[in-house]
């Protein structure tokens, strides 16, 4: 059994059972991968993949277990390499992060600027996607850290650390009736929001499930006329008069003076942003520093303490006395 064979079977799964795409991803040939997979199956005496002719159509029950263990072994192998690199080149390396557009656009710029000032020789790669895409990238080993707000249940096999809490604002044009009501310090109600066409995040992005929950709780079906994964797109269509926007407060900036932001934190429950990494990962010191820059209460000592806990519920209990920063 060779480490490269394990890498091949994991990449085939990562590429939705497409050997051609797995070969392209690993810069090798399709026949070469197929041969090595067959040799591994012969050595193990069991099929990893279910086949229909020459085509792979799924994993066998034993194959699912083999691929899961292979993923862990590949993480360990990378960790061995990282341990050596920490000794030979402590300030040089690569940091790959997966996150949503809102985090990348409105939260990360000053953090990345600080990080690059401290570690100019660390190559930084930022991947943007949906929560499921972020999770898949982390589990596939394509990124080192994942920053997520939605679908924390997906990250049961990862270390998930609480970072900060945030809420939403309603975004309207300056002449909108809700803007005039806000000027008179009249509190916004969810019943009033139910009267208007709404523009908000696509389901699965940036606290959308919390928004839907707030409407469902009072028996109102919101009239959502447009959804987007990007807060800038939401603001664009508010400016066009398509409806009123509901988005993360952090995405309203000084450049949006033509729009009015109305605090809606009394209507919607707060959401929590968390940062995740795979269990068994050896974190380089610069990775600990990035986590600390992103969320100051996450010191190296606290992160290492969290790594020793068996599940993410225990990690949340570890930080339940910590007052999370609000953004």
Sheet containing 325-326: order of strands: 122-128, 93-99, 145-148, 271-278, 158-166, 325-326
Mapped onto helix, strand or coil, the DSSP state of residue 152 is: helix
The answer, yes or no, to whether residue 208 has pLDDT greater than 80, is: no
Q: Which pLDDT does position 207 carry in this prediction?
A: 59
Mapped onto helix, strand or coil, the DSSP state of residue 97 is: strand
pLDDT higher for 127 or 89? 127
> Of the candidates 161, 156, 106, 154, which has an alpha carbon nearest to the alpha carbon of residue 128?
106
Rounded percentage of the chain residues whose pLDDT exceeds 90: 49
pLDDT band at 79 (very low <50, low <70, confident <90, very high): confident
Supply the pTM of this predicted model: 0.79
The per-residue pLDDT for range 16-42, each reduced to its tens digit, is 889 888 888 888 998 889 889 998 989
Q: Which pLDDT does position 289 carry in this prediction?
A: 97
pLDDT band at 99 (very low <50, low <70, confident <90, very high): very high
90-164+272-326: same fold as 3-82? no
Which fold, 3-82?
Arc Repressor Mutant, subunit A (1.10.10)
Class of domain 168-263: alpha beta
The per-residue pLDDT for range 284-306, each reduced to its tens digit, is 999 999 999 999 999 999 999 99
Q: Which pLDDT does position 136 carry in this prediction?
A: 84
pLDDT higher for 196 or 216? 196
Q: Which pLDDT does position 274 carry in this prediction?
A: 94
Q: Which pLDDT does position 93 carry in this prediction?
A: 92
The answer, yes or no, to whether residue 52 has pLDDT greater than 90, is: no
DSSP codes, 210-228:
HHHHHHHHTT---EEEEEE
**Could you tell me where the DSSP H helices lie in 119-207?**
131-139, 177-183, 190-193
Compute the mean pLDDT over every residue in the chain, rounded to the nearest whole number: 89
Q: CATH code for 90-164+272-326?
A: 3.40.190.10
Q: Where are the domains of the chain?
A: 3-82, 90-164+272-326, 168-263
């Amino acid at each position: 059994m060779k480490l490269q064979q394990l890498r091949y079977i994991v990449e085939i799964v990562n590429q939705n059972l497409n050997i051609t795409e797995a070969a392209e991803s690993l810069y090798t040939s399709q026949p070469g991968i197929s041969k090595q997979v067959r040799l591994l199956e012969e050595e193990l005496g069991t099929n990893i993949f279910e086949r229909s002719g020459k085509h792979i159509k799924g994993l066998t029950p034993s194959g699912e277990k083999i691929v899961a263990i292979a993923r862990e072994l590949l993480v360990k192998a990378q960790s061995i390499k990282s341990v050596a690199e920490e000794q030979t080149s402590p300030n040089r390396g690569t940091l790959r992060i997966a996150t949503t557009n809102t985090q990348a656009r409105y939260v990360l710029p000053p953090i990345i600027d600080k990080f690059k000032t401290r570690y100019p020789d660390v190559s930084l790669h930022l991947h943007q996607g949906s929560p499921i895409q972020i999770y898949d990238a982390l589990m596939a080993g394509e990124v080192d850290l994942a920053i997520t707000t939605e679908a924390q249940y997906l990250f049961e096999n990862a270390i998930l650390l609480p970072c900060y809490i945030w809420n939403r604002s309603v975004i309207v044009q300056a002449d909108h009736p809700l803007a005039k009501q806000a000027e008179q310090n009249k509190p916004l109600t969810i019943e009033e929001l139910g009267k208007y066409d709404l523009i908000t995040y696509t389901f699965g992005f940036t606290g959308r499930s919390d928004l839907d929950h707030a409407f469902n709780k009072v028996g109102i079906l919101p009239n959502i006329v447009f959804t987007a994964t990007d807060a800038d797109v939401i603001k664009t269509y508010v400016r066009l008069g398509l409806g009123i926007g509901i988005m993360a407060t952090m995405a309203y900036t000084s450049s949006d003076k033509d729009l009015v932001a109305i605090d809606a934190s009394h209507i919607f429950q707060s959401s929590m942003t968390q940062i995740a990494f795979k269990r068994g990962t050896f974190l380089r010191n610069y990775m600990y520093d990035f986590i600390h820059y992103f969320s100051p209460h996450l010191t190296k000592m606290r992160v290492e303490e969290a790594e020793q806990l068996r599940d993410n519920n225990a990690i949340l209990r570890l930080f339940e006395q910590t007052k999370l920063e609000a953004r």
